[in-house]
Chains A and B, each alone.
Chain A
Amino acid sequence: MLNQSNLIYRYDGSFDGLLCCVFESYDKKEIPMDILLTDTPQTMLFHTKEIMTDSLKSNRVLSSIPRKMGIDALDFVRHAFLTCLTQKELYILLFLRMGYRYGPSVMNMLTDNVVNILFKAVKHLEKESHLLKGFLRFSIFNNILVAEIEPKNYVLPMMTQHFCERYPEERFLIYDKTHSMALVYQPYQPTVIPIDDLELPEPNEEEQSYQELWRLFYDTIEVQGRHNPECRMSQMPKRYWKYMTEFGCPQKKPLLKLENSSANRTGEYY
C-alpha cells in the first residue's frame, strides 16, 4: 500500500538529487505530495523530509531508466528537468514511476495527465530554445561575442551545441539573466558557470555602426503595403524584443526613438 500522505520531499535542486527522491519513493513505498528545494522556506503544515544526494543511489536510478523504459525516456526526463513547469520534480517522479510500471510505452501515453503535462512543458522548452537560437543577439567587445537572454526555461544546455558548431573559432558568452548562469566558450571549450551580473562597456564605433546597419536593414525589409504587427507579435512575442538590436537594444539612445515610434502604433496592438 502506497502512502500518499502529507509528505514533502526537499532536495538540493540537482538532477541527481531528484533521482535520489525517486529512489526514496520506492525504498519507502511512498509518494510525496510535492518536491521542493532545500532552501525554500519551511512550511509547518506538512511533514517534510530532507533527501540527501547520494551518487550511489542516483546512479542506480539513472542506469535503470534506459533499461526499463528506453533512452528516449531518459532524454525526455532530462529535458523536463530544464523546464519552468511548476512542480516539475513531482511530475518527473510520477512519470518515472509510470515508466517502471509500463515500460517504454509510457512515451506513447500522451493522453495521460502526467505525461501530457510534461510533454507540453518540454515542447515549450524546445520552442523557446529554438526561437532564441534566432532571436539572440551578440554585441562584440574586444573581439568577444556577448549576448544576454531572459528565458523562462533553462535553455542554455539546449543551445550549447548549436552555438559551438556555429562559431567554433570565436570566443563568446551567453548570459542567462533569469537563471544567473552563463555559457562561456573559447575555442573547443564550452563551460556553463554561475554568474551574478553582467556589466558591459559602451560599444565601440565599429560595433555601433553594424548595429545601425542592422536596424536600417530591419526597417527597410518591411513591405509597408503588408504591414501586419499582429502577425509579427504572434511569431515573435514581445518579451524577446528586450535584447534585440533591431529594437534599439543594447544601445540606449535609439531605445527612446523606438518608444516614440511605437507610441504612434500602439492603438493597433493594445
Chain B
Amino acid sequence: MDVFDKLKILTDAAKYDVACTSSGVNKKAAAGGIGSAAASGICHSFSADGRCISLLKVLMTNVCAYDCKYCINRRSNDTPRASFTPRELAELTINFYRRNYIEGLFLSSGVMKSPDYTCEQMIEVLRILREEYRFSGYIHAKAIPGTDSTLIAHLGMLADRMSVNIELPSQGSLQMLAPDKSKHSIFAPMGYIQNRIQENSTDIIKYRHAPKFVPAGQSTQMIIGATPDTDFQILNLTEGLYKKYKLKRVFFSAYMPVTENSLLPTIDTKPPLLREHRLYQADWLLRFYGFKASELLDQHHQSFNPYIDPKCNWALNHMEFFPMNVNRAPYSDLLRVPGIGVNSAKRIVIARRTATLNFDGLKKLGVVLKRAQYFITCGGKAMDSLKITQDAVLRSLMSEKILSIYHRDFPLGPKSKQLSLFEQPLMIQPNLTQEGIGKCLTSQI
C-alpha cells in the first residue's frame, strides 16, 4: 500500500474530529530547526464544507480494538484499514509544512493492540519531528483513553495541545453506544493532563527553561444529536469542563450518521447543524461574553430557541436591562447587547473617551445597528428611524435564512390564525416602549 492510499484512508477516518485549531502558543524555530506557532492560530485552507484546515489531521491507524457504535472505525465495521509508520508520517508532515500547506500535525489514532502500544507509536512520530527535524510547529495529539499515565506524560512533553474526546455527553449515553469506554477512562487522562499542566506552570516559574507540558492546553469534543441529551445538559457539562479542567476549547460535532444501528438515529437523519451552531454561539458567550450557562438555559428551557440566537434570546427575556446608554454602560454590560461584539464593545470604550457617541459613530465602530437599535440609546435618545412592527423586529433579529424557516413553521396570512411570535397581534405604535418589543417576541420564545 503506498502513501497515497494510506493518506486517503487515514484522512477519511480522521475527518469527523472537529478540532483543527493551531492556537494558544507563540514560538519560533530554534536555530537549525524549522517551524513556528502563532498564538492566534493560522488557517491554511478551508475545505468545501467550510471548515478550517490548519493541521494535517490524520490517524496513526484506523485499526481499532473498540466497537463504539457511532464510529466509522469500530471493530465491526467492514472498511479498508491502514497504518502509517512513524517515519512516513513525520516525513509527510515536514514536506507539507515546508510548502506552507499546514501549521502542523493533528495526530489521533484507532486503538491498535492496546492503548499503550498505540501511544508509543504516536510518541515515535512526535519524537522524530521534534528531535530529528527540530520541528517547532504545532502538534495536537490525542490521548487514547486507557493509556498509562507515564506515556501520556511523555506525549505531553512533545505536543502543544492534547485532547481527550468525551464523545457522548452523559454516562448513560456512553454505556449505550461506547461500551468499551467509561466516564472514568475519559476523565482520568483529562484530569491527569490538567494536573501536569498546573505542576509544569510552577516549574516554569522556578526554572525559566523547564520544558513545557502541553503549552497550548487541552480541548475536547462531543457528539451532538446521537443521543437524547439536551442542550441544557451539554452546556452545563461544557461550563463544568472549562471550570474544572481548565479546557481551552470544547468542540461540538453534529452527529453524521455513518452506520445503521437501532440505538442510533437512522442513516438518513440530517446532521443537526443549526443545533450545533447554537451551541457554539452559547460556548462563545461563556468564554468571551461573561455569560453563565444558567443564564442561557434552565430546567424549564432545556433547548435553544431555533429561530433566535442565545444572546438575543437572553436580551429579549431581560428587557429590564435595556435600553442601555452606550456612552455610559460598562464594558461588561455592552457585551450583553445583541449586535455588539467583543471588538465593537472595545472600540466603544476607546472611542467614547474623546467623543460622545451617536448612532452614526456606532456604525463606524462596527456595531450591527439592525440588531442593536432596539436595545440601546445614545445620550438617552433612541434611533430616529426605529420601527417597532412585528415584521421589522423579526427581520432585524433573524437572519434571512432563519426568517424563511420561521415563516414556514408559523405561516402568517390574513385569514389563517396560526401560531405567531406575538401572543396577540400588536398595534403598530410609533411610541411603543422597549418592553413592547420584549412582549412581542418573548411570549412564544
Contacts and interface: CB of A to CB of B under 8 A. Distances in A.
Q: Does A associate with B in a complex?
A: yes
Interface of A: 102, 105, 108-112, 116, 130-131, 133-140, 145, 147, 162, 165-170, 210-214, 216-218, 220-232, 234-236, 244-246
9 pairs of A and B residues whose beta carbons are closest in the complex? A231-B50, A111-B361, A165-B28, A226-B49, A110-B351, A228-B50, A220-B11, A222-B47, A134-B44
Nearest to B273: A226
Contacts of A228: 48-50
A227 B48 contact: yes
B34 A223 contact: no
Contacts of A245: 99, 101
23 contacts: A108-B353, A108-B354, A109-B355, A110-B351, A134-B43, A134-B54, A136-B100, A137-B101, A140-B99, A162-B36, A165-B28, A169-B29, A211-B99, A216-B11, A220-B15, A221-B51, A221-B53, A222-B49, A222-B51, A223-B15, A232-B46, A232-B47, A236-B45
B327 to A, nearest CB: 12
Interface in B58-101: 92, 95-96, 98-101
Interface residues of B, number: 56
Q: Is the interface of B mostly helix, strand, loop or mixed?
A: loop
A71 B364 CA distance: 24
Contact of B271 (A111, A131, A170, A225): A225
Contacts of B12: 220
Contacts of B28: 165-166, 168
B381 interface: no
A219 B357 CA distance: 48
A246 B47 CA distance: 10
Contacts of B98: 138, 140, 145, 167, 170
Contact of A223 (B45, B256, B354, B355): B256
B358 to A, nearest CB: 8
B110 to A, nearest CB: 17
Contacts of B46: 231-232, 235-236
Contacts of B273: 226
B354 A105 contact: yes
Interface in B15-30: 15-16, 28-29
Interface string B29-43: 101111110101011
A166 B102 CA distance: 12
A74 to B, nearest CB: 18
A108 B47 contact: no
Q: Is the interface of A mostly helix, strand, loop or mixed?
A: helix
B288 interface: no
A138 B47 contact: no
Interface in B248-263: 254, 256
A111 B353 CA distance: 11
A1 to B, nearest CB: 26
Given A102-B354, A220-B15, 4 more contacts: A138-B100, A168-B34, A217-B11, A220-B12
Contacts of B54: 134
B4 interface: yes
Contacts of A111: 351, 355, 357, 360-361, 364-365
B57 interface: yes
B368 interface: no
A150 B11 CA distance: 31
Nearest to B42: A134
Among A110, A167, A168, A246, max chain B CB count under 10 A is at A110
A110 B347 contact: yes
B7 interface: yes
B150 to A, nearest CB: 33
B33 A109 contact: no
B412 interface: no
B11 to A, nearest CB: 4
Among B38, B49, B273, B360, max chain A CB count under 10 A is at B49
A216 B7 contact: yes
Given A110-B350, A134-B42, A169-B32, A218 B3 contact: no
Contacts of A229: 48, 50
A136 B36 CA distance: 16
A147 B101 CA distance: 12
Contacts of B52: 235
Contact of B49 (A166, A217, A227, A246): A227
Contacts of B318: none
A169 B33 contact: yes
Given A167-B34, A226-B49, A227-B48, A235 B271 contact: no
B351 A213 contact: no
A122 B96 CA distance: 31
Contact of B4 (A108, A166, A212): A212
B441 to A, nearest CB: 28
Nearest to B37: A166
B345 interface: no
